Chain A
Amino acid sequence: MKLLNEFTKGIWKKNPILVIGIGLCPVLAVTSSVTNALWMMVATTFVLVCSNILVSAVKSITPGHIRIPIFITIIATFVIVVELVLKAYQPEVYKALGIFIPLIVVNCIILGRAEEFASKNTIIPSIADGLGMGLGFGLTLVFLAFFREILGANTLLGYTFIPGMQPATALIMAPGGFIILGLMLWGMNKINSKNN
C-alpha cells in the first residue's frame, strides 16, 4: 500500500511539473509534438528510475558533503547511455529532441528525487518513486503536447488532424506553451479544491 502511494504521488499529488513546479524547460521545449513528448517521457523515466536505484544503493557509503557530485556522475552516466542508444538506433528521435537529451542531466526533477527521496530510502520504494515521478512528468508533457500539437499545428503524431483547418501558430511557440500550462494548473487546482 505504501509502495503504491510512493508510485501515485508523482502522478497527481506531488506532480513534479504541476505541483512542485520543476523541470519546466523541457516542458515548454519538447511539447510541440506528441511524439517528442512520448520519447522525452521514456528517456526521462529511464534516467530517473536508474539513477534512483543507484543513488539508493550507494547511499550508505556516500559521504554527505560530496553527495551532489556523486549523484550528478550517476545521472550523467545514464543520460549518456540514453544519448548513445538513441543516436545509434533512433537517429530521427535523437535529431528531433536534440539538445534536450543531454540537458536531462540538469533536469531538476532527477537531482531533486535523488536528493529528496532515493538518498533516504531503500531501493524498492526508490524505483516506485522514480517510475511515478517519471510518468507524472511524462504524462503532463503528453497532455500538454496533445493540445499544442492539435491547436497549434493542426496535426497529431505528425498527421494532419482536421484537413483544411488553419492552426493557431502562437500555441506552438513558447508563449502558447505557457498559456496551456497555466490552464492545466487552473484545471488541476479546480479539481483539487472540489475534492477538499
Chain B
Amino acid sequence: MKNLLKPTIVLGTIALISGITLAALNTITSSRIEALSRDKEQRALAQVLPGYTNIVEKEKSINGKAASYWVGEKQIDGKKQFGYAFIASKSGYSGDVVSMIGVSEKLIIEGIFILQQTETPGLGSRAEEVISDLNFWDFLAGKKEAEKKRPWFQRQFTGLNSAAEMKIVKKGNWTESNKDELLKNNEITAITGATITTSAVKRSIEAAVNDFKDIIKPADDGVDNETIK
C-alpha cells in the first residue's frame, strides 16, 4: 500500500501545481489572445474588401451547415456595387489553409487574406512571407521601410477573375516585373517548393466561389439591363 501511496501523492501534487499555474497564466493571456483573433477578422475584411463600406455579416447554409459571409458596398462611377467576402478552406501540405476571400459582384477577386495555416516553415508558410524592399545592407545602414507591405503571395490574387480558370505557373516570386503578365493571363505564380500550398489556396477559392455563387448578384439589376439595351 505504501508503495502505491507515495508515487500517487508526488505525481498528483506536481500535476496539481502545474494545472494551477497554467490556469492562472491562461486567465492572464486569454483575453489578449482573443482580442488578437477578433482584430484579425477586422484586418482581414479591410484587406479583402478594400474601399467597401457598410460591411454586414450574413449567414447562409451550405450542405446543411451555416457559413458566414460579409457583404459590403462601394460607389463606382456613381453606381452602387456590392462586394462579397467569405471564408475558404482546403487542405494543404499539412492541415487546412484557411483564408478570407473578397470578390466583386463580377467575381473579380478584390483580395485574399490567409487566416490560418500550418504549412512547412520556410516553404508553404511563405504564403505569409513579406519581402521587404530594402536589402540586408540597407537594414544594417539603419534605413527604415516606408510602410508595412502585404505578403506577395496573397497580393497576386487581387484582380484575378475567379469565374475563369486560374492557372498555376512556376515563375518564382511575384514581383514588379512579372505581375502584369501574370494578371493578364489569369495566372498565379507558385511558392517555390510549395506547389501543394499554392494549389490548396487556388482550389479553396474556386470551391468557395462555387458555394456562394447564388448570393452574388449585382446591386442594381435595373441599371445593368439598361446598359444591355
Query: Do A155 and B22 form a contact, CB below 8 Å, given A66-B10, A96-B121, A100-B121?
Result: no
A83 to chain B, nearest CB (A): 10
A32 touches B122 (CB 8 A): yes
Question: For window 121-166 of chain B, which residues contact chain A by CB distance below 8 Å?
Answer: 121-123, 125, 128, 130-132, 134-136, 138-139
- The answer to whether A169 and B193 touch (CB under 8 A), given A69-B11, A96-B121, is yes
Q: A66-B7, A74-B14 are in contact. Are A87 and B125 (CB under 8 A)?
A: no
- A160 in the interface (beta carbon within 8 A): yes
Q: Are B29 and A85 in contact (CB under 8 A)?
A: yes
Number of residue pairs A-B, CB distance < 8 angstroms: 97
- Shortest beta-carbon distance, A79 to chain B, in Å? 10
Interface residues of A in 29-47 (CB under 8 A from B): 29-30, 32-33, 36
**B6-A63 in contact (CB<8A):** yes
With an 8 A cutoff between CB atoms, is A163 at the interface? Answer: yes
Asked if A182 is at the interface of the complex by the 8 Å CB criterion, the answer is: no
B76 at interface, CB cutoff 8 A = no
What's the minimum C-beta distance from A124 to chain B, rounded to whole angstroms? 22
* Inter-subunit contact B121/A73 (CB<8 Å): no
Query: Does A108 belong to the interface (CB within 8 Å)?
Result: no
Contact A87 B29, beta carbon cutoff 8 Å: yes
* A84 and B122 contacting across the interface, CB-CB below 8 Å: no
Closest to A95 in B: B128
What residues on B are CB-neighbors of A87 within 8 Å? 29, 33
Expressed in whole angstroms, the Cα–Cα distance for A62 and B6 within the complex equals: 9
* Contact pattern, A 81-118, Cβ under 8 Å of B = 1, otherwise 0: 10011011101000111111000000000000000000
Q: Are A99 and B118 in contact (CB under 8 A)?
A: yes
A159 touches B29 (CB 8 A): no
A70 within 8 A of B: yes
Does B25 belong to the interface (CB within 8 Å)? Answer: yes
26 A-B interface contacts by CB (under 8 A): A29-B121, A63-B6, A63-B10, A66-B7, A66-B10, A73-B15, A84-B22, A84-B25, A84-B26, A84-B29, A84-B33, A87-B29, A98-B125, A153-B122, A155-B136, A157-B139, A158-B130, A159-B135, A159-B136, A159-B138, A160-B131, A160-B135, A163-B135, A169-B193, A172-B122, A173-B123
